[in-house]
Amino acid sequence: IFPFVSVNQILLLLLVLTVCAILYNKVHQVPSALKNESVDLESPEEMEEEIPVVICAAAGRMGAAIAAISSIYSNTEANVLFYIVGLKTTIPHFRKWIENSKLKEIKFKVVEFNPMVLKGKIRQDASRPELLQPLNFVRFYLPLLIQKHEKVIYLDDDIIVQGDIQELYDTKLAPGHAAAFSDDCDLPSTHEMVRSVGMQNTYMGFLDYRKQAIRDLGISPSTCSFNPGVIVANMTEWKHQRITKQLEKWMQRNVEENLYSSTLGGGVATSPMLIVFHGKYSTINPMWHIRHLGWSPDTRYSEHFLQEAKLLHWNGRYKPWDYPSVHTDLWENWFIPDPSGKFKLTRPDS
Per-residue model confidence as pLDDT tens digits over 197-252? 556 788 988 999 999 999 999 999 999 999 999 999 999 999 999 999 999 999 99
Q: pLDDT, tens digit, for every residue of 28-39?
A: 543 333 333 333
Of 95-104, 145-154, 273-282, 294-303, the range with the lowest mean pLDDT is 294-303
Q: What is the pLDDT of residue 245?
A: 98
Phi, psi dihedral angles at 269 (to 5 degrees): -95, -30
98: left (phi over 0), alpha (psi -120 to 50) or beta: alpha
What mean pLDDT comes out for the span 7-27?
A: 65
Q: pLDDT, tens digit, for every residue of 249-281?
A: 999 999 999 998 655 555 689 999 999 999 999
Q: Give domain status of residue 347, yes or no.
A: no
| Cα 72 to the center of its chain, rounded Å | 12
For 120, the domain range is 51-185+199-333
> What's the CA gap between 265 and 260, in Å, rounded?
10
Q: What is the pLDDT of residue 295?
A: 87
Average pLDDT, the chain: 86
Q: Cα-atom radius of gyration of the chain, to the nearest Å? A: 28
Q: Coil, strand, or helix at residue 121?
A: coil
| Cα 227 to the center of its chain, rounded Å | 13
> What's the CA gap between 155 and 84, in Å, rounded?
11
What mean pLDDT comes out for the span 116-129?
A: 77
Q: Coil, strand, or helix at residue 31?
A: coil
Q: What is the pLDDT of residue 257?
A: 93
Q: What are the CA-CA distances from residue 78 to residues 69, 193, 335 (Å)? A: 13, 34, 21
Q: How many CB atoms lie within 10 A of CB 59?
A: 14
Output the pTM of the full model: 0.84
Q: Give domain status of residue 18, yes or no.
A: no
Q: Give domain status of residue 6, yes or no.
A: no
Q: Give domain status of residue 85, yes or no.
A: yes
The amino acid present at 188, given as its one-letter code, is: P
* Dihedral sign of CA atoms 258, 263, 269, 273 in order: negative
Q: Give domain status of residue 323, yes or no.
A: yes
Q: Give domain status of residue 191, yes or no.
A: no
Strands (E), 66-221: 79-86, 107-112, 151-155, 159-161, 179-183
Domain count, the chain: 1
Here the CATH number for the domain that contains residue 66 is 3.90.550.10
Q: What is the pLDDT of residue 18?
A: 73
* Dihedral sign of CA atoms 134, 139, 144, 147 in order: positive
Q: Give domain status of residue 28, yes or no.
A: no
Q: 198 pairs with which residues across the strands?
A: none
Q: Give domain status of residue 246, yes or no.
A: yes
